[in-house]
A and B are shown apart, each in its own frame.
Chain A
Amino acid sequence: MLNPYIPMPVEVVKIVTEVDTKDIKTFRLAFINSEDEANFQYLPGQFAELSVFGQGESPIGIASSPTQPGYLEFTVQKAGVVTSTLHDLEVGTCIGVRGPLGNSWPIDYLEGKNIVIVGGGFAFTTLRSLVNYMTHEDNRFRFRDIIVVYGARTPGLLIYKDELSAWEARDDINLHVTVDKGDENWKGREGFVPTVCKEVAPSSENAVTVICGPPIMIRFTLPVFFDLGFSKENIITSLEMRMKCGIGKCGRCNVGNKYVCKDGPVFSLAELDKLTKEY
């Protein structure tokens, strides 16, 4: 019997400090055993539990895309015991990964549709996975127009800056990067994510929006998409809750009768409407 609680050993092969406040880093992890890598079949939107020696586990969304073989990436904000220890690690350290866990962004449902991706701040990690997945040459034809609206409070807080430039250079992604407030070097757009969404005004025709960000951003962005005619079935988001087991046993991350770890973290607004508002 496969024991779902035992992690797989991975080596930290690259660490990127993403923001000027230095509290968000991306860790690239390579599997030590090739069979573990073969077993780790995931889709964008899933997460995994990262194990750090002596400290425990933290559930973190997978920021890399399955189209990038050989490694996994996780973008982690320094917050509690496990993530703080992670932030102190150096390249070459061995940690544990347990997963993939949870459902994913509904790739099959997104196929053949126009996709509007809306991300705010550091909640852009599994959306980045989705963008890289959809724009990979093996997959790009499966999706129609891709619009990405991504915002952070300041230019220094934008993550994946190199990748944003690469996306900007492509003609098959319609990218809108915005900051709440720019600085002297900022030449891009200024404005809150909901406002930018309103300006971009994506059509709801055969379209789905995938939104992930801080609660305040989501609260003001949803009405914009309602006004544009998006139905609740076509507004998709991802929830976060305190988790331990990640497989629906330990009993703490439920919202109503659904476990965020096992039945989520991805839900459509229509699905969330059926659940209690306990999150």
Chain B
Amino acid sequence: MEKRLLKKDRLAGIIKNVSRDMLVYAPVKEEDNVLFMALKEGREPLLSFSNSRNAPKTFFFPRTETMMKYTRTSRGMEFLRGGGEAEEAVLFGVRPCDTRSFVLLDMLFDQEKYKDSYYISRREKTTVISMSCVHPPYTTCFCTSVNGGPTSSEGADILLTDMDDNYLVEFITPKGEKILQYFGDLPKAGAADETLKKEISQKAEKEITSHIPAKEVKPILDNNFEHPFWETIHQRCLACGTCTYLCPTCHCFDISDEAKGNDGIRIRNWDSCMYPLFTLETSGHNPRPTQKERWRQRVMHKFKYYVDNFGVIACVGCGRCVMYCPVNLDIRKIVEDISKL
């Protein structure tokens, strides 16, 4: 793995250079929000920011996308893949929690038997440049409780770590090394730099003050699908779905069709287990009839089912659902309470 040092003031220029050759999505300031947007002429990538409001999973799994187009023909119906092929792109400035979410989503979308070609083609064409959280930005950050870390490179092609005068630039994958050319002739990082990175990592981990017993709740959830506790969390919930839309690992979607004349399209949109219609059957039967069952599903999916199926917790500890829940439901508190059942 190539490890280089980059003078800090050069980074913005390099990213802008990359954006002349390929699509670059970077965090930018939009009114009061930090959002990932395509870098265009005149748009500056943010180098110092907390985290984006929306999870960057949207670049691989968009909120809405055309899956297929179909046409009535003389032979009947023709089905064509919609949306075209994915473009070569760079996703710059992703925080390690969100970068890790891509690894978790890969497990679902890129399985041996059924491969989600839409997600996979974007993943293959996109280089992820991650930025360490040298100072974890929020009190709601809890990545270290769910196997992540503020300077972790898991899922990244390139990891940048702020080391005072320089960035330590780690080219993790061959895909990342392809971007090396844009960085020019950089000095190699030495043993002293590695030691400094270790110190910075340890310090950053210590700065995370929120700790939850996420790994301890799995055996409890295994045995407590029926428990009075499930009655206690959902009453406040408005079923707005904000938690699931902001979540970097939520992957549920709906498929629907639209047609006009002889042409139709099939679209997929993000969906949410928080909604009553999510599981409502045509007969009127709903296996998850109230918000209680829906909340249980959300907790179980993240902290038990995903662990059963893929061996990992489907939460990266970004804290978005905690920050933006309009009624202050806090997954950290819920996990904490479950650990005491």
Contact = CB atoms under 8 A, between A and B. Distances in A.
B233 interface: no
A54 interface: yes
Contacts of A256: 225, 300, 305
Nearest to A94: B76
A265 to B, nearest CB: 14
Contacts of B268: 250
A47 B114 CA distance: 16
Interface in A84-107: 93-96
Nearest to A250: B253
Contact of B259 (A9, A32, A54, A276): A54
Contact of A252 (B252, B266, B308): B252
Contacts of B288: 278
A247 B305 contact: no
A279 interface: yes
Interface residues of A, number: 44
Contacts of A8: 79
Contact of B115 (A1, A51, A80, A279): A1
A95 B255 CA distance: 17
A59 to B, nearest CB: 11
B255 A244 contact: yes
Contacts of B273: 251-252
Interface string A32-67: 100000000000000000010111110000000000
A44 B281 CA distance: 24
B121 interface: yes
B253 A56 contact: no
B258 interface: yes
Interface in B49-105: 67-68, 70, 72, 75-81
B253 A251 contact: yes
Contact of B70 (A96, A244, A249, A254): A96
B283 A79 contact: yes
Given A9-B76, A54-B264, A252-B271, A4 B256 contact: no
B79 A9 contact: yes
Contact of B257 (A6, A32, A56): A56
B77 A53 contact: yes
Max chain B C-beta neighbours (<10 A), residue from A51, A83, A93: A51
A111 interface: no
B338 to A, nearest CB: 16
Contacts of A80: 282
A240 B301 CA distance: 20
A244 B79 CA distance: 18
Interface residues of B, number: 53
Contact of B253 (A57, A240, A241, A244): A244
Contacts of B108: 248-249
Contacts of B251: 249, 251
Contacts of A253: 279
B124 to A, nearest CB: 10
A7 interface: yes
Contact of B75 (A4, A7, A32): A32
B76 A11 contact: yes
Contacts of B116: 4, 249
B106 interface: no
Contact of A55 (B80, B109, B257, B301): B257
B180 interface: no
Contacts of B281: 240-242
A1 B115 CA distance: 8
A26 B26 CA distance: 54
Contact of A95 (B75, B77, B81, B279): B77
Interface in B274-312: 278-283, 287-288, 293, 297, 300-301, 304-305, 308-309
Contact of A53 (B68, B264, B279): B264
B254 interface: yes
A3 B266 CA distance: 14
A2 interface: yes
B79 A6 contact: yes
B172 interface: no
A240 B281 CA distance: 9
Contact of B72 (A2, A11, A53, A254): A53
Nearest to B261: A54
Contacts of B209: none
Given A9-B77, A96-B79, A250-B271, A1 B259 contact: no
Contacts of A95: 77
A275 to B, nearest CB: 9
B17 interface: no
Contacts of B118: 5
B120 A1 contact: yes
A248 B107 CA distance: 12
B247 to A, nearest CB: 12
B287 A4 contact: no
A165 interface: no
Max chain B C-beta neighbours (<10 A), residue from A8, A79, A251, A254: A251
Question: What 7 pairs between A and B have smallest CB-CB spacing?
Answer: A94-B76, A54-B259, A251-B252, A247-B114, A80-B282, A257-B308, A257-B305
